[in-house]
Amino acid sequence: MKHEKKWTLESLSCKAVWFLSTLIFLVLTVTSLIFTRYFVADYSIEKPYVKIAWFPLILLGAALLGRVIYRIACCISEDAVRGKRQVRCLLLIVLIWCLLFGAVWVLLAASTPVADQYMVATSAERFAQGNYGRLEYGKYLYYYPFQVGLTAWEELNFRLFGLHNYTALQLGNVFAILGTVYAGYRIVSLLFDKRRVEACYLLLMACCFPLLIFSAYIYGDVLSIFLSMLVLWQTLRMVKTEKKSAVLWMVPAAAAAVALRSNSLIVLIAVCCVLGVKAITGKKWIYLLCVLLLGVGAFAGRKAIYQYYEAKSGTVINDGMPSVLWIAMGMQEGDLEAGWYNGYSIYIYQDTCLYDGPTAKALGIAEIKARVKVFLKDPLYAADFYSRKFTSQWNDPTYGCFIMTYAADQGRSDLGESLYTGTPKAVLEKFMDSYQLVIYGAVLFLLVYRRKEKRELEWYVLLIAVIGGVLFHELWEAKSRYVLPYFIMMIPMAAAGLMELGGAIGKWRTKDETAKGGR
């Protein structure tokens, strides 16, 4: 008599996440083989042009890269003690590499802030001097109050290291990258507990040039990635090892991540979903308490920053531009690409509604409804629109790392300029193209190859965050830089997938040789 399967909320959640993840990574892998998004060489416009990828070259590059990383990872001893020692040595080497590359890149790039970077940085400098004018009616932080948290962080840096000291912020990014690498290493240890998978992860992170190049970016992206990875690590630590002390790291890290970058809420939601399901299925109510603390911490952290600046400035911080305007803009065409910035949000809020939030919100909702009607009337156009929006973000192998850090008002050395416009940049772009395929393809292989294995929901926490990122950025304003955090979250899973792929190829080859020998 067969035993009937007992379906639980957790098992059903795992099935749903596996299906959505597999579908997403199938699309990512196929599109990365077909399309490559790129920006013009002189960085004159942030428009993601599309070109048909040279399939054989990218595939060959990915195969060679994957093979090299797999073979190096296989050099790690299977002996528990010796293997652990070797991986820790590799961890130190990778951290030193990231430190040196990041620091050298920061110095050679000589990047300076422009656009939103510039507005936040100069607001922070003014705050440090007691000037809070940017909070007042019609000013930058009046309609973008979510930038106050990042402004507070940069103000602290300027107070500690001096005004206009952008290098200190950039070197802070370098150390955040080290923290990201280490947090990911601990995540891999908790998820897979295999020294060779850990080694593969470290080697993949050492090759993650988009993240390394973003060390020169004077904004909150890199630091928020580190904080998000810290939250994910501590979540797994609490669930896997029952270490309640993880809450002491999770809550402040989540609050800081959300204060720096509002999009970090996607990771927080992913974590809360896992903890909520685990609490209900396993009746571990401490997980619900953790969800409550994470929510309160994220809200209270931003509220505390607002209250601090309201007390300092004597100005009530405005609610800012309604979020529906970014969703509406994300459904529109523009000069750049489908769903990319076209000025709609600022035009409606500032020029049309004169900073009247409720009126702007109503107009945004009306625009969303109008675009939905257009998409429903012409499904082929809708499919074309969202496929262009999707590929413009996820098929840019640089994730905007060059164009977003190119500005340099003081000029840069010939060597520094060649990193952006010369042969080094061209080589790195080609490498990133194959590297992107390795990551996407390895995760897809892991999901398909191990599809029958029973998993706990926490095993999928990184992929839940990725699913959230894909869905959110198909709705929100598009930009390839925005999806970099989720690409970083794929790498631990890609490491396991690459090792599984290498092992599977070895088994197939052995079977083939055995079959030939038997004939």
For the segment 433-490, what is each residue's pLDDT rounded down to a tens digit?
Answer: 999 999 999 999 999 999 888 899 999 999 999 999 999 999 999 999 999 999 999 9
Average pLDDT over residues 381-395: 96
| The pLDDT of residue 511 is above 80 | no
Does 146 score more than 90 pLDDT? yes
Band of pLDDT at residue 412, cut at 50, 70 and 90: confident
Average pLDDT, the chain: 92
Residues 466 and 451: their CA atoms lie apart, in Å, by: 18
H-run or E-run covering 52: strand 49-52
Other Cβ atoms less than 10 A from the Cβ of 66: the count is: 25
Rounded distance, CA 495 to CA 512, Å?
26
- Across residues 479-503, what is the average pLDDT? 96
- Number of Cβ within 10 Å of residue 192's Cβ equals 19
- Note the pLDDT of residue 501: 93
Number of Cβ within 10 Å of residue 265's Cβ equals 16
Task: Provide the 3-class DSSP secondary structure of residue 500.
Answer: helix
Predicted confidence at residue 507, as pLDDT, reads: 76
The 10s digit of each residue's pLDDT in 185-223 is 999 999 998 999 999 999 999 999 999 999 999 999 999
Task: Give percent of the chain above pLDDT 90.
Answer: 83
Higher pLDDT, 375 or 77: 375
Q: How far is CA 331 from CA 158, 319, 320, 364, in A?
A: 38, 23, 21, 11
DSSP 74-138: TTS-SSHHHHHHHHHHHHHHHHHHHHHHHHHHHHHH-----HHHHHHHHHHHHHHTT--GGGSTT
**CA-based nearest residue to 233, from 199, 261, 267, 209:** 267
- Contact, 171 vs 216, CB < 8 A? no
Q: What is the mean pLDDT of residues 321-328?
A: 95
pLDDT value, residue 515 = 53
**Helix ranges, 242-399 (H):** 246-260, 265-282, 285-313, 324-329, 344-346, 357-377, 379-394
User: Cα(481)–Cα(210) distance, rounded to whole angstroms?
Assistant: 10
The residue among 3 and 270 whose pLDDT is bigger is 270
pLDDT at 1: 44
- The percent of residues in the chain predicted with pLDDT above 70, rounded, is 97
Are the beta carbons of 33 and 59 closer than 8 angstroms?
A: yes
Q: How many helices (H) and strands (E) does the chain have?
A: 21, 2
Could you tell me the two tokens for 296?
A: 């309160």
What pLDDT was estimated at residue 35? 87
Quick one: CA dihedral 340, 342, 343, 344, positive or negative?
negative
> Given pLDDT bands bounded at 50, 70 and 90, which one contains residue 77?
confident
